[in-house]
């Protein structure tokens, strides 16, 4: 996905010249969801997973937004988030590859659907050994080639 920027008038009559070259990233943000999730679960898991990436890797966060009336908005990721799906086995293998490459990652386990707050979420993950986690989602960030290797066997979410 390419994004281009153009010159636009700013409030107060000044204009800001912005780069018009397409932005290309040598990194990738990806979410891998287990294929048997309900639609509401897919959305919930994706939102939770990506919320952690900006805290561990602040470089993924872009500049704040502003509309033509100078109303400010929060910054968001500077690049697209690609969403994939796969089987339980694909997710487990991807998790192992993310760990072996020491990539920034976030996990969502099936146990988290039964909790209602952050403290209980963390306790639910902490209670299970790494190999026993019942993963339903994984978010990873890193160099494109490393993330692509982690996602081997997954397919783009429809």
Mean pLDDT, the chain, integer: 88
- Nearest-CA neighbor of 44 among 113, 104, 121? 113
SS3 state of residue 47: helix
HSE (CB half, 13 Å, CA atoms) of 114? 6
Question: What would the two tokens of residue 52 be?
Answer: 């952690």
pTM of the model: 0.82
Query: Which of 23, 28, 31 shows the shortest CA–CA distance to 3?
Result: 23
Mean pLDDT of 109-123: 95
81-110 pLDDT, tens per residue? Answer: 999 999 999 999 999 999 999 999 999 999
- Please check the confidence at residue 12 and state whether its pLDDT lies above 80: no
Backbone angles phi, psi at 86, to 5 degrees: -170, 175
pLDDT digits (tens, 9 = 90+) for 24-48: 788 999 999 999 999 999 999 999 9
């Amino acid at each position: 996905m390419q994004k281009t920027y153009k010159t636009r008038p700013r409030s107060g009559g000044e204009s800001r010249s912005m780069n018009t070259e397409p932005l290309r990233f040598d990194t990738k943000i990806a979410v891998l969801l287990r294929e048997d999730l309900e639609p509401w679960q897919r959305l919930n898991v994706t939102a939770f997973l990506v919320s952690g990436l900006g805290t561990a890797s602040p470089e993924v966060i872009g500049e704040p937004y502003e509309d033509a009336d100078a109303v400010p908005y929060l910054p968001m990721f500077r690049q697209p988030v690609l969403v994939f799906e796969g089987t339980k086995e694909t997710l487990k293998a991807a998790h192992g590859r993310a760990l072996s490459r020491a990539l920034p990652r976030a996990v969502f386990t099936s146990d988290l659907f039964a909790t209602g707050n952050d403290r209980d979420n963390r306790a639910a993950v902490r209670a299970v050994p790494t190999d026993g986690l019942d993963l339903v989602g994984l978010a990873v960030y890193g160099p494109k080639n490393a993330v692509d290797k982690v996602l081997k066997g997954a397919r783009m979410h429809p």
